[in-house]
Amino acid sequence: MALHKDEIALDVQDLHKHFGGIKAVDGCSLQFPKGKISGLIGPNGSGKTTTFNLLTGVTAPDSGKILYNGENLAGLKPYKIFRKGITRTFQITRIYREMTTFENMLSVAGLSIPEREVRQRAEELMDFVNLTGLRDEYGGNLSYGQQKLLEFSRALMTDPDLILLDEPAAGVNRTLLVELLKHIHELQEQGKTIIIVEHDMNVIMNHCEKIFVMDYGVKIAEGLPEEIQANKQVIEAYFGHT
Amino acid sequence: MTRKEHLINLGYLAAFLAVLTVLPSQFSVYITSFIMFTMMYVVLALSWNIISGYTGYVSFGHVLFYGVGSYASAILVADHGWHWVPTLAVSALVGVVIAVAIGFPVLRLKGPYFAIAMLGAAEGTRVIVTVWDGLTHGGEGISLPNVENSTETYIAMLLLMVATIAVSYWVGHSRFGIRLNAIREDELAAEVMGINTTVYKLAAFALSAVFPAIAGAIQANKTLYIDPETEFFILITITMKLMAMLGGKGTVIGPIVGAIVLYSVQEIVWIRFPQAHLIAFGIFLILVARFMPRGLVGFWIDRGWARKGMVH
């Protein structure tokens, strides 16, 4: 069922990215619904992280469009895309290890709120993910799960509309994961659009309203969790032909 | 940091400066000149620290800015009859223009490639200055008119040091500085988190060039003779780097402490053991790198004698 234009947060059209002879993303079109949690899944090397990198400007696409609020973001610099309200986390956390938790939060640029409110916002977000007690600790001294929370809360400093999470569950223990998912749902309730790349199928099937499946750089399926679970092509992509 | 803590720091600085202002009248020419050169190295170490300590772009060619600053001033004084004081502004401008021109391409390089490119830029500039006879008098150097200006140059260096400390302090306690730190820690993440890294790096580079250019100019008017070999001497770059590392790069107080300690030690060792001075210098540095990789200030922080981070 095609979405109406107003229901689409991010409209990716025929995206291509080649690295030498490897077609990492090969003509992918994805329409992420506004205000919902979407999942992007696929076997290793199917092009999910490359897609995230293209969407956030980390790498420029060879061709294709990334439409966001009627504007094509393809090829823009990362900081410009970020300032349009799109934020992300990384598969392996990229927090600043020799800076304190608080400094990690304050480093974010291009905020829409006045400078004097920035500290307050940083404090609120640290509180949101229970990191207030580690405010003056170096990022590198936090546990891996805490680093993930720090990266997550840092990504929220600008109050973004679109949040891309690259494997939020990887390396996070169950208790923390429940916590993290609770935060993700809270953000969705605030009207934000969330896209998750994840290998943990429990997270994807129980928390995403729409799922996109990639394999060899192309989208092979999209739909509701139950539709994806029954999709023959998806099962083949994961387990091979039977 | 609270307002009260900033005021206390300001108080320390004011007391320190008051002492330095009255010193020249109390001591011999030798001691006065020793203090002036110590202050010059405080300026150089703090400046190097802005691009290399805060931003993580380790420069092996920072003497470049010192050299062009000294030449800009010496040419105007010796060949065009300027008074030396207004030439300082020209030197500052030349330093910034060259920093932006070189920084734009070179700051795209990272790690060792940036370090080597800066080394090449400094050596290349030395060669240009040596062969450009018409402007620079080439290898024979420039002699400046012989005037007694010890007190004036001392005061100028003192004021320059105050300005450098003030700017470093601001960088070290502002979100501008935190963003430079973010670029040092993870440039890609910094850019994805909204920082226009090109602009921030160029600004840091220009700031780190302007003070050495003025320091070079003051120095030229104090020593009254300059030539390419001494003004673009690679050991000057290495010394500012070592001072910042010894004290603790990426902090405000570190390069100040490092410059004072290292310059004093160097002077004492050099007077007593002229031959062994470089050997002692080398051993000293190896020991610092091995046992205090984050410098004296890092050593204090690890023992809980100083606080982590720049902003509280």
* A7 pLDDT tier (thresholds 50, 70, 90): confident
The pTM assigned to this predicted structure is 0.90
Residue A134 has pLDDT above 90, yes or no: yes
What's the pLDDT tens digit per position in B197-217? 999 999 999 999 999 999 999
* Alpha-carbon gap: A116 to the closest alpha carbon of chain B (Å): 12
B178 to chain A: closest CA residue: A107
Task: Write the CB contacts of A13 (distance below 8 Å, at least 6 apart in sequence).
Answer: A29, A64, A65, A66, A67
**B74 lies in some domain:** yes
Task: Fill in the DSSP letter of residue B51.
Answer: I
Which H helix or E strand runs over B183?
A: helix B175-185
What backbone phi and psi angles, to 5 degrees, belong to B60?
-105, 15
Rounded CA-CA distance B301/A13 in Å is: 52
Residues B31-74: tens digit of each pLDDT: 888 999 999 999 999 999 999 999 999 999 999 999 999 999 99
Which secondary-structure segment (H or E) carries A15? Answer: strand A8-19
- The per-residue pLDDT for A242 is 57
Measured from the Cβ of residue A185, the count of other Cβ atoms closer than 10 Å reads 13
- Average pLDDT for B77-81: 92
pLDDT for B7? 84
> With 80 as the cut, is the pLDDT of residue B308 above it?
no
Work out the number of other CB atoms within 10 angstroms of the CB of residue A87. 25
Q: Do A58 and B190 touch (CB under 8 A)?
A: no
Q: In chain B, which among 249-278 make CB contacts under 8 A with chain A?
A: 250
Residue B311 has pLDDT above 60, yes or no: no
Is the pLDDT confidence value at A19 over 80?
A: yes
Chain A residues within 8 A of B191 when measuring between CB atoms:
77-79
Percentage of chain A with pLDDT > 90?
Answer: 67
- Per-residue pLDDT, B312: 43
The answer to whether the CB of A215 falls within 8 A of the CB of A42 is: yes
Single out the residue of A202, A203, A101, A204 nearest to residue A157, CA to CA: A101
pLDDT in tens, A195-229: 999 988 889 999 999 999 999 899 999 999 988 88
Residues 6+ apart with CB under 8 A from A46: A214, A215, A216, A217, A237
Lowest mean pLDDT, pick from A164-173, B34-43, B90-99: A164-173
Q: How many domains does chain B have?
A: 1
Q: Residue B188 corresponds to which tokens in the numbers above?
A: 């890609």
Q: Which domain holds residue B65?
A: 3-238
Mean pLDDT, rounded, of chain B = 90
CA distance A49 to A72: 20
Q: Do A79 and B312 touch (CB under 8 A)?
A: no
Q: Among partner residues B190, B195, B309, which is closest to A103 by beta-carbon distance?
A: B309
Assigned domain for B27 exists: yes
Domain-located, residue B124: yes
Averaged confidence pLDDT in chain A = 90
Q: What is the mean pLDDT of residues A76-94?
A: 94
ipTM of the prediction: 0.90
Contacts of A105 in chain B (CB under 8 A): none
Q: Would you state the pLDDT for residue B249?
A: 85
Domains in chain A, ordered, with CATH? 5-239 (3.40.50.300)
Q: Once rounded to an integer, what is the mean pLDDT over residues A1-7?
A: 75
Q: According to the model, what pLDDT value does residue B310 have? A: 56
> Which strands form A71-72's sheet, in the order they lie side by side?
A22-33, A8-19, A63-68, A71-72
What is the secondary structure of B232-270 as a DSSP string? T-HHHHHHHHHHHHHH-TTSSHHHHHHHHHHHHHHHHHH
Amino acid at B216: G
Cβ(A218)–Cβ(A42) below 8 Å: no
pLDDT of residue A44: 87
Rounded (10°) CA dihedral B109, B114, B120, B124: 60
Q: So what's the pLDDT on residue A224? A: 92
